[in-house]
Amino acid sequence: MLLAATVAAGCAGRGSDSGAAGQLLELVAVASTVSLAPNQQGSVAFRLKNNGVPLAGRTVSFAIVADDPAGTRGATLISPAAVTGPSGMASAQVRAGLATSFRVQAQLGALAAEVFVIVEEGTSGTVQVAPFFASPDAPARTTSVQILFYDASACAAIDADDPMAPGRRPEPLPTGASTVSFPFVSTATTSAVFVQALGLGPTVVATGCVDVPGSAVLPDATVEVAVPLIDAVPDPVGTFALTSTMTFAPALAAAAAVAAPWQSLSACPLDPAQLWLDCTVDALSAASADDPLDCVPSAAAGGEGPIGDAIQARRGAWLVDGTGAALGCRSARDGQGAESLDAAVQGLFGSPAPPAVVALPAIAKDAASILNTVRFTSMLSVTAASQPGSYFVTHTLQSALFGPGGAVAVPLEPLGLPVLQAVTTATMAGRSLAIARHGFTFRLGSSARAAFGPLALAPRGFPPDLDAFVPALFGTARAPDGATACDALDATVCPGAGQPAGCLLDACAAGMAALADRLSSAFAAADGTGLDLQLSGSAPLVAASGTLRTQRLGAGETQSSPGALWTATVDTAAAQASLIVPFDGIRN
């Protein structure tokens, strides 16, 4: 049996190397598999060729590699190397130990080849594997069929999603052939045949596994084993890191409410001075239901007290459009043609305007666009349910990302949102995972507020904390005597309105606080109540190359499948938006 094996043609463990100029060296096993009885001595042979011609006089080294976790179980090499003879052949002498299997590797420089050695008691036979497709369209999607033969094993021990390497070299089904033969299969133990049909990628098109009891193997004869190949579906079980992208087109109704206070900082030619004065004058009287502290002074005479009336008399005249309608912006001249207090306060910022004032239109633009595209990251964990094709899904929100390319990430847990994890179910629909509806307390406005400082303020020299923005902005105002912020405003406006020094210090501080609150609280328009983000979705499963273990959810790197999509609803204080949200998932 051993002699027959060593002279049979084979190509297992083929290795080649260009070597020196003009050389194409090739090292191959004479037989891919040999069989020895326990404690028997035999040989495994390798042939060295150069451009197809046997090459003599080269030293080939040998090593034993154990497949059994217990090791080689006493198998040894008689000699660690051999020199190729006139036929290019070098043989390794092997003494077997107890029943097991192992590989003998041959190496010459970068060239390597190997022979699978089976040590078994009793008789053996040949198993001829004949795979066939259960689905009529599977052959058209198949580019190759790979057959893995496991000695002394069973299908139950093989992970069909990602099968381990067998001791024997995997054998491809030759083009045009319908069977592949495996010699030296024990009649005393059960073996397993696992077959994969592979498509482009490679992707696994279909798989099949059949146990071969030793009693079914005929000693010194051949038996045929048919292996049905069933269409393969990737296994979705695992944990995946998701990135989902929400693009609101048309814009959310809440976006205008978020942007409006920030746009008011530079809406008029004399802003931010006009707005600063409005907030200060509005704070001269106590807030009431009829006149809240909202940076809009009372229009009624005496509504903001005598100081308010005196200041308002020196404010800039209203600008009008071509029809005579007021524009809501004040001019540099008051009703008597004198320089208005708005113009005088604007002068405190200097000329040319400082970067803080120049940046206000860009900040307003960022406020208007911050909700256009919002990404969120999450973790999706899929576990098997009791019914085949059914799964439990645990979905946990992690962060919201704002700005171009998701430049600013806001961790959601520190915001104290009550429901960031949802548990739902999923089922297989073809090669996609259909995920049932589930919800979260996302609070889009709260996360946008946390992102706005790092995204729009800090890059323009302001503190990232929204509460510190207003003091920083008006801190750039400077009076001729060196006073800044409220001191500068008081030193300019009080004498200009015929009022004593200090007439505005308290109102200025209260007005700035009101403006800061107005800017910050604007984001609440984008917050919903309850479970304000609801998702259901479908995720095509993309397996790792050559396996059925899902590596990606979505189109994958080759765009070989449709993208993964959420059907989403987002509730805000203004309205509900429904949209389709693409997402991508990577196995964690």
Q: List where CATH 2.60.40.10 sits in the chain.
A: 2-119
Looking up tokens 């814009």 gives 251
pLDDT above 50 for 185: yes
Confidence (pTM): 0.78
Instruction: Name the band, by pLDDT with cuts 50, 70 and 90, for residue 2.
Output: very low
Instruction: State the sign of the Cα–Cα–Cα–Cα dihedral 313, 315, 321, 325.
Output: negative
d(CA 146, CA 133): 13
pLDDT above 90 for 565: yes
Span 328-338, pLDDT tens digits: 999 999 999 99
Instruction: Name the band, by pLDDT with cuts 50, 70 and 90, for residue 12.
Output: very low
Tell me which amino acid residue 374 is: V
Name the more confident of 120 and 371. Answer: 371
Window from 14-23, 99-108, 576-585 with minimum mean pLDDT: 14-23
pLDDT above 90 for 545: no
Q: What is the average per-residue pLDDT within 197-221? A: 94
- Encoded tokens for 218: 């005929």
Instruction: Name the band, by pLDDT with cuts 50, 70 and 90, for residue 121.
Output: confident
pLDDT above 70 for 262: yes
pLDDT above 80 for 382: yes
CATH top-level class of 2-119: mainly beta
Residue 97, classed as helix, strand or coil, is coil
Give residue 10's pLDDT. 38
Give residue 431's pLDDT. 87
Q: List where CATH 2.40.128 sits in the chain.
A: 238-252+371-443+527-587
Cα→Cα distances 515→293, 489, 494, Å: 9, 16, 21
Cα→Cα distances 369→268, 270, 427, 532, Å: 20, 24, 37, 21
Give residue 20's pLDDT. 57
Span 133-144, pLDDT tens digits: 999 999 999 999
Length of the chain in residues, anyone? 588
- Residues 512 and 486 sit within 8 Å (Cβ to Cβ): yes
Percentage of the chain with pLDDT > 90? 86
- Residues 195 and 142 sit within 8 Å (Cβ to Cβ): no
Q: Which residues of 370-398 are buried (b: 16+ CB within 10 A; e: fewer)?
A: bbebbbbbbbbbbeeeeeeeebebebbbb
Q: What is the average per-residue pLDDT within 194-223? A: 94
Give residue 18's pLDDT. 53
DSSP string, 123-180: -EEEEEEEEEESSTTHHHH-SEEEEEEETT--GGGS-TTSPPPPSSPPEE--TT---E
**CA–centroid distance for 73 within its chain:** 46
Span 51-107, pLDDT tens digits: 999 999 999 999 999 877 788 899 999 999 999 999 999 999 999 999 888 999 999
pLDDT above 90 for 324: no
Residue 543, classed as helix, strand or coil, is strand
Span 331-380, pLDDT tens digits: 999 999 999 999 999 999 999 999 999 999 999 999 999 999 999 999 99
Instruction: Name the band, by pLDDT with cuts 50, 70 and 90, for residue 557.
Output: low
Give residue 430's pLDDT. 86
pLDDT above 80 for 269: yes
- Encoded tokens for 463: 């503190």
Q: What is the average per-residue pLDDT within 484-500? A: 97
Q: What is the average per-residue pLDDT within 251-265? A: 96
pLDDT above 80 for 405: yes
Window from 259-273, 348-362, 489-503, 540-554 with minimum mean pLDDT: 540-554
Q: What is the average per-residue pLDDT within 474-493? A: 97
Average pLDDT over the chain reads 93
Evaluate whether the domain defined by 124-231 bears CATH number 3.40.50: no
Give residue 556's pLDDT. 59
d(CA 241, CA 378): 6
Given the candidates 2.60.40, 2.40.128, 2.130.10, 3.90.1170, the CATH classification of the domain at 238-252+371-443+527-587 is 2.40.128
- Residues 505 and 490 sit within 8 Å (Cβ to Cβ): yes
